[in-house]
Structure 1
Amino acid sequence: MDKRVVITGMGIYSCIGTNLAEVTKSLFEGKSGIVVDPERISFGFKSPLTGMVPAPDLKKILSRRQRISMGEESEYAYMATMEALQNSGIDMSYFEHNEVGILFGNDSVSKAVIEATDIAREKKDTQLIGSGAIFRSMNSTVTMNLATILGLKGVNMSISAACASGSHAIGLGFMFIKQGLQDVIICGGAQEINPYAMASFDGLGVFATDIDHPQKASRPFDVHRTGLVPSGGAATIILESYESAVSRGAPIIAEVVGYGFSSNGGHISTPNIEGPTIAMRRALEQAGIFPEQVEYINAHATSTPLGDANEAKAILEVFGKKPYVSSTKSMTGHECWMAGASEIVYSTLMLQNGFIAPNINLESPDDDVKELNLVSTTIKKEFDIYLSNSFGFGGTNSAIVVKRFK
């Protein structure tokens, strides 16, 4: 089996917009979603900067029984998924008669674990933790909640791969459908935003320190960057076999054609050049395209000197100087577990609407990245093929190639 895999729906719940229309506008305008979080100041954070999203109000949508097992990442994922399903023309009745799977990237549930532990420590009575706590505090919380709410009958797994989690979820969904094992899979990534999730990161001293200018704090590739900015929310895409999409008259947004992966096999947190190079080349090989056919790369670039530099060197090794390159993290910050999924949404919105979003705050590219064809202001341009990079702690790498459907 070697089926074509298409995107028929997308949904987004992001600090630059809580729906596709808002996010498209923000991307085109180069709008930052970074703010100063007062709660992080009270927590003693060295950097209180973050990308923030509003808490969804699900009381009128879901029952109490459904809500008590959902943490914030599941709530964000629900919002993104509902938009994606509507976008794809799938309603609840579809799940009753068709096998639909779910693969979501998620690698922490810090708040739920800490809150449950605090109750046990204070009350010395585990029964007071509550019946929903266990379902909020598992890494598979997003997939278990959405699969239950929607009544899904297909593959049901969470992908835990650090900051490449969302990308690997889409890549694996692509492989499942390509091999004929499923026809429709809800794929995506979700990231909690609360201070508990980011306290240990803050303690490493890797976050940006330009607190007086939050919207300028995330500066991938720029020599004046002071670190990355954490963020979160959720992103969902509906992957579907071409045959399934055509049979139900679904809108075909784009086609996923390649997925590459690798492991650095080195330092647990320091990236290298070889691993990303292998992932990108593998994605191109599977897509059956030459490097010069890729017109845009959404770089992983998180706004750290070594990470940005090594990715730049890997891109130059594989592609040379030709493709346009930008990091949407300059606007959103690093959305961690959801980033690999949200950046597929961001890049596909650009593909649909004929523009390349800028790498904002890029005033002085550092020496290691100057050879890249970096985009610092929005370019109005029709393009057909892009590649999106996602890398994570432990040396996990993912690259996905998407093309305009023809």
Structure 2
Amino acid sequence: MRRVVITGIGIYSCLGKNLDEVRDSLFKGKSGIILSQERKEFGYRSGLTGHVEEPDLKNYLSRRQRLGMAEQVKYAYLATLEALEQAKIDQDYIDANEVGILYGNDSCVQPVIEAIDTIREKKDTTLVGSGSIFQSMNCTTTMNLSTIFRLKGVNFTISAACASGSHSIGMGYFLIQQGWQDTIICGGAQELNVYSFGNFDGLGAFSIHESDPASASRPFDRDRDGLIPSGGGATVILESYESAVKRGAPILAEVVGYGFSSNGEHISNPNKDGQIRSLEMALRQGNLTPKDIDYINAHATSTQVGDYFEAQALGETFDGCNTPVSSTKSMTGHECWMAGASEIVYSLLMMQNDFIAPNINFANPDEASEKLNIIAETKEQKLDTILSNSFGFGGTNSTLIIKRFKP
């Protein structure tokens, strides 16, 4: 089995529009959450959201190329440009080699609504526009990016709720490990428009702590009252070790473990046993013990039930290890389909810069989180091995482990 390394990363999120901005936000414990009056006026119970500015790509792409891009594709495009540049992969290399793409995405709400509204009003489907179908399909990100970058390798979308981005990296890891591909663009993208989270809000899943947006996301804290939606795009370039060495590419880290499971029970409520099986599988894959993990980037979204079960799963799996834990969602909110990929980017930035980003707003533990070593303030520490969890509706669980690269 071949070693799988990371040669490039890119990010466009509420913490910043590039790696440097995001690194600084993580270190400072800076929140990217705001109160949106547009959402309140639209009818949302909670107007809290991560703030991500939609980019103008006129200086990057032709009108024809932009025509079929949904909102989240724009974020993913810029993240991918940054990752490819860091990996030293140019268009000539892509044209001469099989480079694949696996990207997490699980909704395209706005273009669907806008298309149906046009048809209802005009009674004429031809007025929808030629780009609408490509914006509306769940594979809009892989469809657009594979065309723009002229990719010739594996090409499909991972749709797995809030574990989508993580599973995309896990599946890319498997394909490269087994020798099917040498290079894959992996990642996750999440739309953030006013249409995209209305049904979540209707479930009462969102925090209503609107008086102080920056303190509203409180993973693991006893007083948490719900998650906050966020979005953007995150890209991770996976490559076989042999390919990276042959190209003289920078090797940022190595992917050493991927665990997955299904809870097999309730469609929205998590359970501890499924999460533990995912954690244990990732550790076995990496030939690691719990004591080998230097830091855990938790899934914890700031919901009562979700954080409680994850704290229990981590408490049992890492019993006696005192492993540092934090949830970057305390700063970003829940980036949903993107989160599993963005949190690998966040984790790698911590590894490169020797610090643990804080679980901000953590003041009072509950009976489960009090057993964890929650890092509430930025901590400078060398990190060699990091584990990242992602869980989603339908009981899908994903765990990734990355390691500081050693030849």
Q: If the TM-score is normalised by the length of the shorter chain, which range does it land in?
A: over 0.9
Cα distance per residue 1:127-153 (max 9 Å; x no partner) = 000100000000000000000000000
The alpha carbon displacement at 1:366 in A equals: 1.3
- Aligned-partner Cα distance in 2 for 1:85–1:389: 25
- Aligned-partner Cα distance in 1 for 2:174–2:31: 34
Equivalent runs, 1:110-149 vs 2, <5 Å: 110-149=109-148
State the AA in 1 paired with 2:36.
D
The alpha carbon displacement at 1:368 in A equals: 1.7
Query: Counterpart in 2 of 1:36?
Result: 35
The alpha carbon displacement at 1:14 in A equals: 0.5
Query: Counterpart in 2 of 1:361?
Result: 361
Q: Given the alignment of the two structures, is residue 262 of structure 1 paired with residue 261 of structure 2, yes or no?
A: yes
Cα distance per residue 1:68-125 (max 9 Å; x no partner) = 1001011000010000001111111111101000000000000011011111111000
- Contact 1:295/1:322 (<8 A) preserved: no
Query: Counterpart in 1 of 2:399?
Result: 399
State the AA in 2 paired with 1:381.
Q
Equivalent runs, 1:338-349 vs 2, <5 Å: 338-349=338-349
The alpha carbon displacement at 1:182 in A equals: 0.3
The alpha carbon displacement at 1:223 in A equals: 1.0
Cα distance per residue 1:8-56 (max 9 Å; x no partner) = 0000000011100000000000000000112101111010000011111
Unaligned runs of 5+ in 2: none
Equivalent runs, 1:22-101 vs 2, <5 Å: 22-101=21-100
State the AA in 2 paired with 1:128.
L
- Aligned-partner Cα distance in 2 for 1:96–1:296: 38
The alpha carbon displacement at 1:181 in A equals: 0.3
Query: Counterpart in 1 of 2:315?
Result: 316
State the AA in 2 paired with 1:334.
H
**Helix, strand or coil at the partner of 1:343:** helix
- Contact 1:219/1:225 (<8 A) preserved: yes
The alpha carbon displacement at 1:170 in A equals: 0.3
Equivalent runs, 1:3-402 vs 2, <5 Å: 3-320=2-319, 321-402=321-402
- Aligned-partner Cα distance in 2 for 1:43–1:223: 30
- Aligned-partner Cα distance in 1 for 2:269–2:341: 22
Unaligned runs of 5+ in 1: none
**Helix, strand or coil at the partner of 2:365:** coil
**Helix, strand or coil at the partner of 1:259:** strand
The alpha carbon displacement at 1:298 in A equals: 0.4
- Aligned-partner Cα distance in 1 for 2:163–2:333: 15
- Contact 1:70/1:141 (<8 A) preserved: yes
- Aligned-partner Cα distance in 2 for 1:270–1:54: 32
TM-score norm. by structure 1 comes to 0.99
Task: Provide the aligned length of Structure 1 versus Structure 2.
Answer: 405
Q: List structure 1 runs of 4+ shifted beyond 6 angstroms.
A: none
**Helix, strand or coil at the partner of 1:113:** helix
Q: What is the CA RMSD across the aligned residues, in angstroms? A: 0.6
Q: Percent of aligned positions with the same letter in both sequences?
A: 63
**Helix, strand or coil at the partner of 2:368:** helix
**Helix, strand or coil at the partner of 1:197:** coil
State the AA in 1 paired with 2:378.
T
- Aligned-partner Cα distance in 2 for 1:47–1:357: 26
**Helix, strand or coil at the partner of 1:239:** strand
**Helix, strand or coil at the partner of 1:55:** coil
TM-score norm. by structure 2 comes to 0.99
The alpha carbon displacement at 1:206 in A equals: 1.0
The alpha carbon displacement at 1:385 in A equals: 0.3
State the AA in 1 paired with 2:358.
P
- Aligned-partner Cα distance in 1 for 2:109–2:51: 17
The alpha carbon displacement at 1:252 in A equals: 0.3
The alpha carbon displacement at 1:243 in A equals: 0.3
- Contact 1:294/1:323 (<8 A) preserved: yes
**Helix, strand or coil at the partner of 2:371:** coil
Cα distance per residue 1:187-232 (max 9 Å; x no partner) = 0000000111100000111100111100000000111111110000
- Aligned-partner Cα distance in 1 for 2:322–2:253: 22
- Aligned-partner Cα distance in 2 for 1:69–1:39: 25
- Aligned-partner Cα distance in 2 for 1:336–1:313: 22
**Helix, strand or coil at the partner of 2:196:** helix
State the AA in 2 paired with 1:349.
L
- Aligned-partner Cα distance in 1 for 2:198–2:176: 38
- Aligned-partner Cα distance in 1 for 2:368–2:33: 26
- Aligned-partner Cα distance in 2 for 1:34–1:313: 27
